[in-house]
């Protein structure tokens, strides 16, 4: 097993898990558009790169595109009064076509262009820096007035409205932020693996949820540990588990089933132990 | 001043149209603390809902400070109004700590910003506010709200609703779920806060004695109409037995 690349992948997917923590845990919003916005990040970043854009530009463009996609889910739900789950599904399906449009074909190789991880040299350092930056920014954000409003929204929209805040606007903002991070993760992953593929996002949401729940069940019993740490650490541990599954003879194509089973087992175990951590 | 003008409201029910208000008029002045009583279904909560925008009247107008507030966006209206209702879980954020809840209330009506939510010296200031309640809440600033008792939550909700002096305070059976001792404490606190800050207040209660003991104007409603409205000396002379009698003459 190549532990370095497991760690690197775990950290990159950790950014996605932080995004999912924001929608599922903080906003309490079952955002099913994640698979689409992860692939969107990859598609946007790859097409900026092959059109001569810099790696920084490609990565920023991925974040902005993800923010727009998340806002779309939020707007459909908050202004269009469509059920939350359905809003996410609509955006996810729509994004499949959008992503194909952006890419022009179903796979874009990035071996010929310069990007963040064109040389594997120093990749761990770059990834650690990016993930640390994301973690610090989100941790700080959650302590601001706006951050408090998002946390409050996940619990009681009426109280938020009573404070003179329009709840819909902040749901849109929160979902934008969440999917901006998911797309950032997708953009980084496409550069890391050297290609973007239209099917890259499939299973992202379940993977992310499994990571978060894993992180929660392992870390929460040690007292106060922030949601961002839980997401990132959970994501790394989850990669290691998947690698072990392959090491012991499973095919990479079996991994989605493994993910589903892991999630199922954790959910059942946690419910049995009082359901303290498992909350999807 | 708060003013209801010619309020009309009816509902479509299985038995056909059910009229609740047919031209209700009511004006409440700035220094008034109105206690409201009336049988179930009299329309007390509906009046409150029309003020905050959770219900739209079919006709008439609602004015706050001389301006119609019917078409104002709900969240902007609520920014100027404090409210505490019956359900202790409904007035505060359960997953956030007492300190965090107070910090949010402290910024009520402000534009949401990227400033840190908890201001310097907040801890001491909120501690002082809570200490007045005498429930020991000043030592629970880091406890999540959902771990507090209903009475404690209701006390915090009251402090939060009045922290930024609202133009109007609406209390809908806010002590109904509390034990008699805590209910008394919250009502006393309500009276003090409202008088000190001079907040125009409407308080619904089913406890007739409370309706007489607190506030400075009493209104009794029945089937969408005001059947008793007493203030000043008339109110001072009202007796519990008279109120009870009123209640049973339907
Ligand atoms: N959305 C609605 N649809 C139909 N009828 C309604 C609706 N809201 C209120 N009503 C009716 O209006 C009447 C007044 O209700 P309201 O809740 O204002 O009474 P209340 O005086 O607060 O009573 P209580 O003391 O029980 O709280 C009731 O008959 C109720 O059935
Ligand atoms: Mg009522």
Question: How do residues B10-32 score in pLDDT, each as one tens digit?
Answer: 999 999 999 999 999 999 999 99
Q: For residue B13, count CB atoms less than 10 angstroms from its CB and return exposed for 0-12, middle for 13-18, buried for 19 or more.
A: exposed
Does residue B120 belong to any structural domain of this protein? no
Does residue B135 belong to any structural domain of this protein? no
Spatial separation of the C-alpha atoms in residues B110 and B107, rounded to whole Å: 5
pTM strictly above 0.80:
yes
Spatial separation of the C-alpha atoms in residues B184 and B206, rounded to whole Å: 14
Does the pLDDT of residue B242 top 90, yes or no? no
Does the pLDDT of residue B249 top 80, yes or no? no
Does residue B123 belong to any structural domain of this protein? no
How far B102 CA lies from chain A's nearest CA (Å)? 11
Does the pLDDT of residue B239 top 50, yes or no? yes
Does residue B136 belong to any structural domain of this protein? no
pLDDT, tens digit, 9 for 90 and up, residues B52-111:
999 999 999 999 998 999 999 999 999 999 999 999 889 999 999 999 999 999 999 999
Tell me if B110 sits within 8 A of B116, measured CB to CB.
no
pLDDT band at B250 (very low <50, low <70, confident <90, very high): low
Q: What are the start-end ranges of the H helices in B9-141? A: 44-52, 74-79, 98-106, 122-131
pLDDT, tens digit, 9 for 90 and up, residues B194-231:
999 999 999 999 999 999 999 999 999 999 999 999 99
pLDDT, residue B86, reads: 92
Does residue B106 belong to any structural domain of this protein? no
B144: helix, strand or coil? strand
> Which of A163, A166, A169, A170 best probes binding to B when mutated, by most B CB atoms within 10 angstroms?
A163
Instruction: Please give the distance, rounded to the nearest whole angstrom, from the Cα atom of residue B164 to the centre of ligand 2.
Output: 25
Q: Which chain A residue has the Cα nearest residue B114?
A: A144
CATH of the domain at B202: 3.40.50.300
Q: What are the domain boundaries of chain A?
A: 3-202
Interface of A with B (CB under 8 A): 141, 143-149, 151-152, 154-156, 158-159, 161-167, 170
Does the pLDDT of residue B247 top 90, yes or no? no
Number of domains in chain B: 1
- Cβ of B170 closer than 6 Å to ligand 1, yes or no, is no
How far A170 CA lies from chain B's nearest CA (Å)? 10
Q: Which residues of B touch A155 (CB under 8 A)?
A: 93-96
Does residue B72 belong to any structural domain of this protein? yes
Backbone angles phi, psi at A66, to 5 degrees: -65, -40
How far A22 CA lies from chain B's nearest CA (Å)? 15
> Mean pLDDT of successive 10-residue segments in chain A (280 residues)?
90 98 95 97 98 97 98 97 96 97 97 92 96 97 97 95 96 98 98 96 92 87 83 95 89 85 79 52
Tell me if A73 sits within 8 A of A88, measured CB to CB.
yes
> In terms of Cα–Cα distance, which of A129, A128, A124 is closest to A2?
A124
Name B90's Cβ contacts closer than 8 Å, sequence gap at least 6. A156, A158, A159
pLDDT, residue A279, reads: 43
Tell me if A205 sits within 8 A of A29, measured CB to CB.
no
Whether residues B107 and A166 touch (CB distance < 8 A) is answered with no
Spatial separation of the C-alpha atoms in residues A47 and A50, rounded to whole Å: 5
Could you count the other beta carbons within 10 Å of the beta carbon of residue B131?
13
Does residue B204 belong to any structural domain of this protein? yes
Residue to mutate, B8, B9, B11, ligand 1, most ligand atoms under 8 Å from C-beta: B11
Does residue B117 belong to any structural domain of this protein? no
- Cβ of B99 closer than 6 Å to ligand 1, yes or no, is no
The alpha carbon of B232 is separated from its chain's Cα centroid by a whole number of angstroms, namely: 22
């Amino acid at each position: 097993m190549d532990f370095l690349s497991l760690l690197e992948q775990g950290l990159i997917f950790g950014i996605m898990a932080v995004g999912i923590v924001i929608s599922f845990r903080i906003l309490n919003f079952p955002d099913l558009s994640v698979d689409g916005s992860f692939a969107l990040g990859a598609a946007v970043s790859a097409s900026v790169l092959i059109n001569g854009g810099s790696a920084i530009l490609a990565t920023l463009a991925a974040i902005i595109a993800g923010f727009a996609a998340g806002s779309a889910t939020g707007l459909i739900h908050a202004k269009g009064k469509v059920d939350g789950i359905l809003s996410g599904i609509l955006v996810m399906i729509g994004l499949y076509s959008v992503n194909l449009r952006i890419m022009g074909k179903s796979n874009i190789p990035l071996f010929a262009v310069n990007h963040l991880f064109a040389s594997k040299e120093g990749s761990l350092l770059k990834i650690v820096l990016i993930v640390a930056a994301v973690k610090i920014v989100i941790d700080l954000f959650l302590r601001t007035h706006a951050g408090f409003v998002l946390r409050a929204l996940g619990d009681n929209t009426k109280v938020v409205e009573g404070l003179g805040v329009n709840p819909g606007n902040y749901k849109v903002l929160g979902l934008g932020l969440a999917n901006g991070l998911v797309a950032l993760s997708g953009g980084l992953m496409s550069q890391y693996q050297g290609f973007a593929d239209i099917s890259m996002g499939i299973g992202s949401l379940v993977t992310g949820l499994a990571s978060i729940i894993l992180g929660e069940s392992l870390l929460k019993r040690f007292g106060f540990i922030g949601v961002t740490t839980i997401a990132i650490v959970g994501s790394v541990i989850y990669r290691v588990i998947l690698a072990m599954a392959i090491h012991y003879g499973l095919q990479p194509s079996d991994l989605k089933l493994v993910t589903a089973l892991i999630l199922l087992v954790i959910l059942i175990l946690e419910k049995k132990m009082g359901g303290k951590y498992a909350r999807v | 001043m708060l003013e209801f003008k010619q309020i009309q409201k009816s509902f479509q029910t299985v038995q056909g149209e059910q009229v609740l208000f047919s031209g209700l008029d009511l004006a409440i002045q700035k220094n008034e603390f109105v206690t409201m009583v009336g049988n179930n279904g009299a329309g007390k909560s509906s009046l409150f809902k029309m003020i905050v925008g959770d219900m739209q009247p079919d006709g008439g107008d609602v004015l706050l400070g001389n301006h119609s507030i019917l078409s104002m966006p709900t969240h902007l209206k609520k920014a100027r109004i404090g409210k505490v209702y019956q359900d202790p879980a409904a007035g505060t954020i359960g997953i956030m700590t007492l300190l965090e809840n107070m910090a949010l209330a402290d910024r009520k009506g402000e534009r949401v910003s990227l400033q840190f939510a908890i201001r310097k010296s907040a801890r001491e200031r909120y501690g002082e506010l809570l200490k007045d309640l005498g429930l020991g809440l000043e030592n629970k600033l880091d406890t999540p709200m959902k771990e507090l008792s209903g009475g404690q939550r209701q006390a915090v909700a009251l402090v939060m609703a009045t922290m930024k002096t609202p133009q109007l305070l609406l209390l809908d059976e806010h002590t109904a779920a509390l034990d008699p001792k805590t209910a008394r404490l919250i009502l006393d606190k309500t009276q003090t806060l409202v008088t000190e800050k001079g907040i125009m207040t409407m308080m619904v209660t089913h406890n007739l004695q409370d309706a007489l003991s607190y506030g400075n104007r009493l209104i009794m409603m029945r089937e969408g109409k005001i059947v008793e409205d007493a203030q000043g000396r008339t109110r001072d002379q009202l007796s519990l037995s008279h109120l009870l009698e009123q209640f049973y003459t339907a």
